[in-house]
Structure formats: C-alpha cells, structure tokens
Amino acid sequence: MRALVTGGAGFIGSNIVALLCRQSFDVRVLDNLSSGYESNLRPDVEFVQGDVRDQDAVECAVKGCEIVFHLAASVGNSRSLAHPIDDSEINAIGTLRVLEAARHHGVRRLVYSSSAGIFGELRTLPIAEDHPVEPDTPYGASKLAGEKLCLAYGKLYPLETVCLRYFNVYGSNQRFDAYGNVIPIFVHRVLAGEPITIFGDGEQTRDLVNVADVARANVLAATAPGVGGAFNIGNGSRVTINELARLVLAAAGAAVPIEHGPPRAGDVRHSQADISKASRAFGYTATVPLEDGLRTYMAWARSAGV
C-alpha cells in the first residue's frame, strides 16, 4: 500500500514514516525542508521536495497514493503570532490544496494532523471532542480551518477523512526551536547548562504524549475500517510545568536553576485529553510513561547534539 506523508522530514512526520516502513508500506514524503531535516529522511522512501502551497508539487506527490497523512504545517502559537499570514496560507490553504489533489487522484483516506489548540481555554477537564472550539491564536484558528475543510470533504466526496487533535507531543527527532514546545526548550537549556525559564507560576498543566504513541495513532486511524471524524490524541493525564521541569532535570541527571517569567500570550492554563473516543474507534491507547519517554528523548538529544 502506498502512503504519502506531507511534512515527512519533520518531527512527527518522520516518526510516522519510520513506523509505516516497519509495517511494509510503500512511503513517499513531501517536504520543503523549512522545518524538516534531510537527516530525518530514510533511504528507503521516495522524497518529493516541495511546498503544500504549490499545487503542482502536491499533485505530483499525491498521485498513486491510497492514503495521505497530512502533517505539513506552520506549527505553534508563538510562531503564528509572529507570522499570522504564513500560518494561514500553509495551514488552511495548503490543506485545501492537499484535499483537492487527494480528491482528484482517488485517495481512499486522508489523516489530518490537527491540534488541541483549536479549543482555546478549556472549560472542562478532561476535554472531549465535543468541547466548544474557540481558538485563542492564529495557529488554533488555522488548524481548525484545516480540520473543518477535511471534515467537509469527507461528507462531499468519496474521500474518508480523519482528524487527529494532538495535545503536547514530544520525543525523538524533536529539535530545539524558539517557537517550539516546552520539552525540547527545557532539554536544550539543561544540556547547555543554562537556567530553565517557566512562564507564569508553573502550576499550569499539560497533557504530554510521546511521538511513538502519536505515530501509532496515525497508522491505526489510517487502517481501521469505517473510521472518520475528529479524535483527541494525548496521554489522557496531565502534569504541571513545575513538575515537568523537575522530571527533565532528573532525566538529564543535571542541576540548573529554575527561573520564572511572565505568562505568555496565547497559552492555556490547563490541558488534558479524553482519549476514549479514539480508543473505541481504532484501539488507541497511550503506552509510553512520561518518565520513560523523557529518558529516551534525553538520550536522543545527546546523541543528536541537540
């Protein structure tokens, strides 16, 4: 079975590619390498260098594929605040171009990487899929637009669409990015011997899910019969940022100061996924404990020179 992974040279995409290859899929990757890395590309996959905003490149990449995993995106609240136009062009219009190509070329199922950022500030915990969607940032709004487009195409055309709403994903191949998630930022600073900065009081909570679980969720969502709609993909538990900082230091076997800064615009206070719908629909469960995942990620970060 041939599968396309857009953004397949990136953090989550490269982990999905690796899992697909282990399961004997014929894999093609579309990536412009703006945030992906050539070192993440496997020699046993076909690589198309291109941008999801380029319809010709997208058509070329989609042709002949039965399944599309759409991960190419501008990621993160902070980046979207700095570059809102790029964020929307990539996440909304880019997704529409992928959907159009999938429709034209008879793709059977498209799995879209959405985000818990679509919800905005949470009213209840844990959060189920029917929670109101009121994004607080351009990123959340653009990912919601992409999700709504996917669900609409799934109703209008013979294209099965599944939207996976990721919570805070971490793990191997996740490099430091000033706009990025909390774990690679903490790990980068600890390995550099620099203080960790926590924004706010540190009692805000996050649902942290390992990328190995996210990759498995994608393959399950792509292959389980009769699956469609939107699903939360997280760990199903939450941890405070203060506790996370302590766990990162323990995983590193290091001691650096922990400092506090002002709260960041666009950050929600608490986050925790209800993953029961995904469990019922395609057997998803989170299997990697946070302490184990942090130790594995720390070892990868050291070996990769992060």
Distance CA 146, CA 110 (A): 12
Q: Return the pLDDT at 126.
A: 96
Question: Is 295 within a domain?
Answer: no
Question: Is 17 within a domain?
Answer: yes
What's the number of domains the chain is made of?
1
For residue 2, the cross-strand partners are: 26
Q: Can 139 be counted among the known catalytic residues?
A: yes
Question: Is 185 within a domain?
Answer: no
Distance CA 168, CA 210 (A): 8
Instruction: Identify the band that residue 27 occupies on the pLDDT scale cut at 50, 70 and 90.
Output: very high
Residue 1 has pLDDT above 70, yes or no: yes
Which residues neighbour 158 within 8 Å (Cβ) at sequence distance 6 or greater? Answer: none
Question: Is 69 within a domain?
Answer: yes
Question: Is 150 within a domain?
Answer: yes
Cα separations (Å) of 92 from 6, 80, 199?
14, 13, 29
Cα separations (Å) of 206 from 19, 144, 243, 279?
26, 20, 11, 20
* 20: CATH: 3.40.50.720
Instruction: Identify the band that residue 75 occupies on the pLDDT scale cut at 50, 70 and 90.
Output: confident
Q: Which residue has the tokens 């959340």?
A: 140
pLDDT in tens, 248-268: 999 999 889 999 999 887 778
List, in sequence order, the alpha helices (H) in 105-162: 138-156
Q: Which range has the worst mean pLDDT, 4-18, 68-82, 88-102, 115-129?
A: 68-82
Question: Is 288 within a domain?
Answer: no
188-201 average pLDDT score: 93
Residue 210: count of CB within 10 angstroms of its CB? 24
Structural tokens at position 297: 């990620």
Instruction: Identify the band that residue 180 occupies on the pLDDT scale cut at 50, 70 and 90.
Output: low
DSSP 267-289: --S---B--HHHHHHH-------
Residue 210 has pLDDT above 80, yes or no: yes
Environment class of 235 (CB within 10 Å of its CB; exposed 0-12, middle 13-18, buried 19+): buried
- Name the residue with higher pLDDT: 250 or 122: 250
Residue 21 has pLDDT above 70, yes or no: yes
Question: Is 107 within a domain?
Answer: yes
Report the amino acid identity of residue 155.
Answer: K
Question: Is 36 within a domain?
Answer: yes
Residue 305 has pLDDT above 90, yes or no: no
Q: Identify the active-site residue in 139, 166, 284, 297.
A: 139
Q: Are strands 205-206 and 239-240 parallel, antiparallel or unpaired?
A: antiparallel
| pTM of the shown model | 0.94
Q: Return the pLDDT at 183.
A: 94
Boundaries of domain holding 75: 2-167+211-234
Residue 76 has pLDDT above 90, yes or no: no
Query: For all residues of the chain together, what is the average pLDDT?
Result: 94
Environment class of 8 (CB within 10 Å of its CB; exposed 0-12, middle 13-18, buried 19+): buried
pLDDT in tens, 30-66: 999 999 999 999 999 999 999 999 999 999 999 999 9
Q: Return the pLDDT at 79.
A: 83
